Structure 1
Amino acid sequence: MERPILASIDTGALSHNLARVRELVGNSRIWSVVKARAYGHSLKAALAGLGQTDGFALLDLDDARWLRAQGWDKRILLLEGLFNEDDLSSVIELRCDLVVHCAEQVSWLEKQSHPITVFLKLNSGMNRLGFTPDAYRLAYHRLHAQGHHVHHMTHFANADRVDREPSVGAQMECFSKTIDGLQGETSLANSAAVLWHRNALGDWVRPGIMLHGISPTGAYKDIEHAHLKTVMSLSSKIIAVQELQAGDAVGYGARYVAKQAMRIGVIACGYADGYPRHAVDGTPVWVSGPTDKTSGIICPIAGQVSMDMLTIDLSHAPWATLGTSVELWGKNLPVDDVANQAQTIGYELVCAIAPRVPVEII
C-alpha cells in the first residue's frame, strides 16, 4: 500500500507560462532557468514543458550532460561558470555558454584557444558575484583578445520591489555606463524584471520562478496580472480523524489546545516530505468537497507539523473523513499563501520537496 502523498507537475502549465513570458518580452530571447532541479519540478518536466525556449540556464555540468543526452541541441548557459579549470573540456564537449564572474575564471579561459561564448557578469550593486565596474572592461578585453565571444550580464537585487524603492534604476545606469562602447549582447532581467521592469530586459531574459507560476515577491496577488498557471500541486489524503473535547491538545509540545469539541484531520505529509516544520497554526490546507461538484474548502493547520504528518481543524469540513483528498499547495491553494504563513517564500517550499515524495509528470 503506497502512502498517498504525491507531487504532480503540469507540463502544459509550463508551456503556457513560457508563452506568456514571450508575450511580455517581445523580441528578447529566453534563457529558461532550471537550476535546483528546475525549482524542484525536475529537469524531465522542464524539458517536456519548456522545449520552445531559446536556451536553458542552470548550474551543474551533470544537468547539462543530461539535457544533451536527451537530445537537447539548443543553448545551455552555466550560471556560475566554471568551478575549476579542469571542467573546461566538459564545457567544450557539451557546447555550453559560460557566465564569467571572477578573475580566476578569466585566467583559466585565457589558456583556452577554443572559442567559448561568455556572459561577463557585472556587479552593479548586488554584491554577490561579478566584476566591479573598474575591473569589468579589462576582463572583457582580456577575454575578447583570446578569441572568446563576450556578452554582458548583471543581476538585479531589487526588481521584486513592486512600486517601492530602491528598484532597478541605479543598477541599470551602472550597467549601461560600464558596457558603453563594448560589443556584445546583454542579459539583465530575472522573473521580477520581466514582470515589472520591461524597460530593463536586454537581449536575453532569465525567467525562473515565474515559469513555475510562483511570485517573485512571495505574494500571489502580485502576479495575477500575468495570467500564469500553477505547475506543481502537492496533494495527500486524510489518514485519520480524531474527536477532541475542550482542553485536549494536539501533537508535539501541545501547541494547539481545543477550545471546544472538534474534529482533527491527520494528513500524510510532514517535514520529511519537505513541508515546513515552522508552519504556524492557521496555515491553510485545501480539503476537497463532499462531491466531485464541490470545490472544497480551506482548513487551518492545528498543531505542530511532525516528520510524517500534520493535523488540521475540520470544523468547517464535516464531510471530511478517512481518505478525503487534500492539497498542501497547488491549483486550489497558491504555494505563496502557504509560504507566507511559514515565514518563507514559495521558492523554498517547491525546491525542498523530498526525494521520498513520488512525482507525477502530466
Structure 2
Amino acid sequence: MDKLFAKRMDELVPSGIRKVNEKALAMERAGETVIHFELGRPDFDTPEYIKNACIEDIKKGDVFYTSNFGTMELREAIAWKLKTQNNVEYKPTEIIVSVGLSEAVFDVMAAILDEGDEVLVPNPGWLNYLNVPKLLGAVPITYTLKEENDYQIDLDEIRAKVTPRTKALVLITPSNPTGGVLAEDVLKELAEIAVKNDIMIISDEVYERLLYDDAKHISIASLPGMKERTITLNGFSKAYSMTGWRLGYAACSEEIVKTVNKLHQHVVTCASSFVQKAGVVALKEEKNEVADMVKEYQRRRDYAVKAINEIDGLSCRCPKGAFYIFINIEKLGMSGQEFAPLLLENAKVAMVPGDVFGSEGDHYIRMSFANSYENVVEGCKRLKEFVEKIRK
C-alpha cells in the first residue's frame, strides 16, 4: 500500500525521553550498570493505603464501567481538593476524570482547537503541548523560558505573540523540564492578558505538590475572572507516585467538560473503576506520605545542585519545584544532543538532551533526581569524572 499512514502522523515526533530510556535499558540487558536520571517517574512505591484501597475494591467486585465522566465519589473528592488546596470552587460536574494527564491534554486540545488556531506553549516545555496541536492542524507558537529570568514568563513576549488567532496559552508550573515555579505577579499579569484578549488558559499543575524552600504554587484559575477561562489539568502520578495507575483529570466549565467527554467516551470509555477508588482514598486519607517524599527530594536536589555547580564547565539553577535540574553545558562547547549520548555510553549515566523540550534547551541536559540519594551521589560523581575527562 503506497499511502498507508495518515499525513498527520508526520507531525508527531517520537519521545526523546523514551529514546534515551530504551538505549539505557538495552545497555542494562547487555550487563551494564546504568544510573537513570532520564525518566520523570517517582522512585517511591505507591503508598500502601492507596494500594490496599484498590485491592479491596477489586475484591468487592467493583470491576465494571463507571460513568464516562468518572465516579461521582472521585469527582467530589477532586472538587474538595481544588477548593481546600487551590482555592478554586468547582462543582463535581465541572470535572472529568481521564486515563492519565496525557489523555486529558489530548482530549482538551481536541475539544477547543480548530485547524489554524494558535496556541502559545512554553519553550522549553513538555512536548505533548507541541505535538498535539500539530496533530490537530492547530499552530503551536512558542514563548521562551530563559535561565537568566529564573524561567519566568516574559510578559512582553506574550503580548507581542498574541494575535487574533490565539485561542489558548499553556502554562506548566512547576515546570517540566526546568523546575521553575511561576511567580504570583507573573500569573496576575498573565491573567490580565488572557482576559483582555479572550484567551483560554490550559494550566498543567501535575507537579504542584513538589515544592521546595519558599516556593508557593498558585492556580491561575483562583485569580479574579480566570476560573471560567481556565482548564486546570492535574493527576495522581507525581504527588502519589502513581505513574502506572494512569489517573488524571481536567477541571473547567461544565460546557467544556461535556464537550471533552464526547471524545473521551469514544477513546477510553472511562478510567478503571478500582483505580478511581484508589484516587479517592489518595485525596481523602493522605497523611505524611507526600511531605516525606518532598523532604527526600529536597535532600537529593540540594546535593545534586551543589555537586553540579562545582563541576568546571557546568552550571544550573536550583529548582523550586518538580524533580528536575536543567543543567547548562554551554561552556563545554557541545549541544545536549552531542553530550547526553556520550555521557550514557562512557559514564553509564542517562540524562535527556535539553532540546527534546524545545530549541531553548539546545545547550542543556535534564536530570531527574527521582532516584535514590545514593544513585544521585554516584551519578554526580560519574558526571564530574566524565566532564573532567572530555575537557582535558
Instruction: Using structure 1 for the length normalisation, give the TM-score.
Output: 0.29
Structure number with higher relative contact order (C-alpha < 8 Å, ≥ 6 residues apart)? 2
Judging by fraction of residues, say which structure has more strand: 1
Instruction: Using structure 2 for the length normalisation, give the TM-score.
Output: 0.28
